[in-house]
Structure 1
Amino acid sequence: MIKQPALYIIASKYNGTLYIGVTSNLPQRMYQHREGLIDGFSKNYGIKILVYFEMFEDMQTAIAREKTLKGITRAKKITLIESANPNWEDLTIKLELLKP
């Protein structure tokens, strides 16, 4: 599988607890979050719904974007999510479209 750096935001529910992360394999990472295979914050708070993601050419750019988003207010994060996904739908199904 070709690695594709991505930034993602997952939520526990509509307007719920948020988690921002980066990965080189978003479909695999979402599987890990959904199955509770990653210990830590997301597992402890039941954060499993993919509500936003961005794809990048390189990991450095994805990490820089992650740092930027982690530094903004929750209100701005919600505005970002709702600009692309106003109903907070689970976007995991769209990952199928990204597979070669």
Structure 2
Amino acid sequence: MTPGLRIWAPVAALVALAALVGYLLGARSAAPGETEVIERMAALYAEEGGRISDCAARPAASDGLWLVVRCACGGAVREYFVDVYGRLAHRRAEGVLMQC
């Protein structure tokens, strides 16, 4: 092994390892897309007895929030407030959800 290769091979290996770790951590912390978040909140609504097609989303007006998924059927309304990481931050329910 040449002297230059002895010095630069470990450096290159460390750089490659740092790049791999950075990629894996970045991929794990990346926020999901809008469609995925809306579908997940609509699935929560469906578990409560509603239909997924009752739901629509809009941008949130509050700081720290990203989307508000609103599901309505008859007089019942469910709103799911989603933070910038795609997590459910708050849920608001009005009215009794009947089978629509």
Does TM, normalized by the shorter one, top 0.5?
Answer: no
The TM-score normalised by the length of structure 2 is 0.22
Larger Rg: 2
Q: Greater relative contact order (Cα 8 A, min sep 6): structure 1 or 2?
A: 1
